[in-house]
Structure 1
């Protein structure tokens, strides 16, 4: 069912979020260049932590707003921060943390394999395998994102659910809505990224020097603006998927249980 949302409020809140993330990145990026390696790494980790905290807070506000304040003002959407509980934050943070742990583990394994390859062959002989692995990691991130993208809606809509219920039902809901979610991602994210990559490659091959850099810079700015606009539309579509699916929710002992 199609619903009306005040996309201008969602867009402006997303823009505020992006600006805050940009400021954090620049601030800690500048700090990390003026210190030794150990302190630089610490600043990078703090930066990543703060950025993820900002993402969770803003995504929760938007998710709850899209459920309860669809045509609300920026202030009404922002007021939803008052409903963010520590348990809710914890679930979203743990789900967000899992890919970092998986990538760190994979990175350590790859580094170990490359070191062994260098010691045996004197060079890295598996660059094509690394490229294939990078593609698989990217696909894995998209799939994981599709499975977990409703966590904010679920947490905002069922504050009474326990940590375990929210965690488990995030993946259940993601599985049941996977087809619709992937279609949304394909339409607004994946295909535009492919088109952008093809255009960037075409521009690089047909133009040289400053002309190529200038066109790519303009194209990049356009793509960033598109990314913010499209993410606003995607949030609306995900909200529709979630609310449409809510008819399949059962309540047992004040807990939410999604059908498999």
Structure 2
């Protein structure tokens, strides 16, 4: 009887709410996942060429890093409002805004990773006939993976939180449940959706940590990172020396 009355009593913890709204919670969670995933993947695709551009020199790095930092300082509601005339009330609006926010983290981390690649490794690869494209994909990016994946983890957790703001256009995943519940003081819905959001962030971070350890075993085994990266470049490890540890940078998590 108590389980049935928890909705009437407006309790914070109410299992009856979870069971009666399970489909709604599932749909909101799945929407939250795909919006977050799409935003981070697109952010990675955009951040790599921007980092390559910034690596060309200070005259490129300053505007690229400055622009991404400026975008990050725009409040969430203002960002979505600015994008509204272009994308309308759609998921594309939310994804675009989240991609722009992720760039300040991803671009900096990709750039840090690329700059940490020792020059002698590059010279050895060039001496073996590696062109710019092959050098990037088979030597430099593998060596930059620790910094890149660290940035992806931070960007993903930040994006999970920011996705909830998409509720202002009806595309906020679990935010679609949190916002109206706060306005109506529906305690069970506020707590349940918020807990699911936190769990999503934790699970995503743990999964990405596992991927990071799987793809960069030398970072935990004490192996020579330069040799590991050059090995991914089809044999360049025979001429590569150890790479210095890189310290990935990250912007502070942006609050929703």
TM over 0.5: no
* Structure number with higher relative contact order (C-alpha < 8 Å, ≥ 6 residues apart): 2
Between Structure 1 and Structure 2, which shows a larger proportion of helix residues?
1
Calculate the TM-score normalised by the size of structure 2: 0.31
